[in-house]
Amino acid sequence: MLSTDDGLDTQASVRRANLRRALQLVFRNPGTQTRAGIARSTGLTAATASSLVAELIENRLIVEGEQAASTGGKRATTLSVDAGHHVILVLVIQPRHADIALVALDGTEVDGRRVNYSVENRNRTLDDAVATVAAEFGGRLLAAGVQLPGTTDGRVVLESVQLKWQDVPLAERFERVLGAPVLLINDVDAEAIAEAGMEESPSGYRLFIHLGGGVGAAVTLDGELAPGPRDRAGE
């Protein structure tokens, strides 16, 4: 039997899951999604769907738009992504430079810059660049995605021959500065996911090959990354 604390934690987990589902529905159908549509798609009651929408609006993740076409009753209000507040940091690290972009929730690039460095000052330059972003966008920063050559479990750079890094806890290091969650991903894996995401319903196995300063590859299954047991399938 669940204790009171366990029950509260379970309720909070269900609430978070439902918030994610509602937000994803708005992301997929911006400008046409409604509270009633969320209720129908999720099987939740109209009251629960309205409560989820109210919380997402309060957190400045979505906004109300125009009224939808009438279906015979009261016209519903459409919902869209709030592109005016939160931003996501995208940091692409290469051996001699890093590209930095701040992206709004609708995919619009808000800011972009490049920093150059040498092997000797790379760590310091990256830390300074991340600190600058935190100072400029800290209150609006929702999350950060860091792309880099090498293998990672999402938190630690397990090995990067190009960067000469091994077992570097980079996500934790950047999180201390940004105050927002950070996810690490292999740069070619990120490219493969982006390409799969361009299709509405990607299916089957795909091998994505990158030819550049080196050769990289990634495998996706039905649009999802298939990293293998040691996150090295592409490598």
Q: pLDDT tens digits, residue range 177-208? A: 999 999 999 888 888 888 877 777 777 788 88
Residue 232 maps to a domain: no
> Distance between CA 75 and CA 72 in Å, rounded?
8
Would you state the pLDDT for residue 219?
84
Would you state the pLDDT for residue 2?
43
- Give yes or no: residues 94 and 76 share one domain: no
pLDDT band at 41 (very low <50, low <70, confident <90, very high): very high
Would you state the pLDDT for residue 199?
72
pTM of the model: 0.81
Q: Are strands 182-186 and 205-211 parallel, antiparallel or unpaired?
A: unpaired
Residue 52 maps to a domain: yes
- Give yes or no: residues 42 and 116 share one domain: no
**Domain span holding position 11:** 4-81
Could you tell me if 165 and 157 are in contact, meaning their C-beta atoms sit under 8 angstroms apart?
yes
Q: Are strands 141-148 and 182-186 parallel, antiparallel or unpaired?
A: parallel
> Which whole number is the average pLDDT over 165-173?
96
Would you state the pLDDT for residue 147?
95
Residue 76 maps to a domain: yes
Give the CATH number for residue 180: 3.30.420.40
Is pLDDT at 223 greater than 90 in this prediction?
no
Number of domains in the chain: 3
Would you state the pLDDT for residue 3?
47
Q: Cα–chain-centroid distance for residue 187?
A: 14
Domain end residue (candidates: 81, 115, 141):
81
Domain end residue (candidates: 81, 105, 134):
81
Is pLDDT at 143 greater than 90 in this prediction?
yes
- Give yes or no: residues 177 and 203 share one domain: no
Give the CATH number for residue 31: 1.10.10.10
Residue 118 maps to a domain: yes
Would you state the pLDDT for residue 7?
57
Is pLDDT at 220 greater than 50 in this prediction?
yes
Is pLDDT at 86 greater than 60 in this prediction?
yes
Would you state the pLDDT for residue 1?
42
Domain end residue (candidates: 36, 62, 81):
81
- Give yes or no: residues 135 and 63 share one domain: no
- Give yes or no: residues 98 and 181 share one domain: yes
Residue 101 maps to a domain: yes
Residue 168 maps to a domain: yes
Residue 235 maps to a domain: no
Is pLDDT at 84 greater than 70 in this prediction?
yes
Is pLDDT at 44 greater than 70 in this prediction?
yes
> Distance between CA 198 and CA 223 in Å, rounded?
10
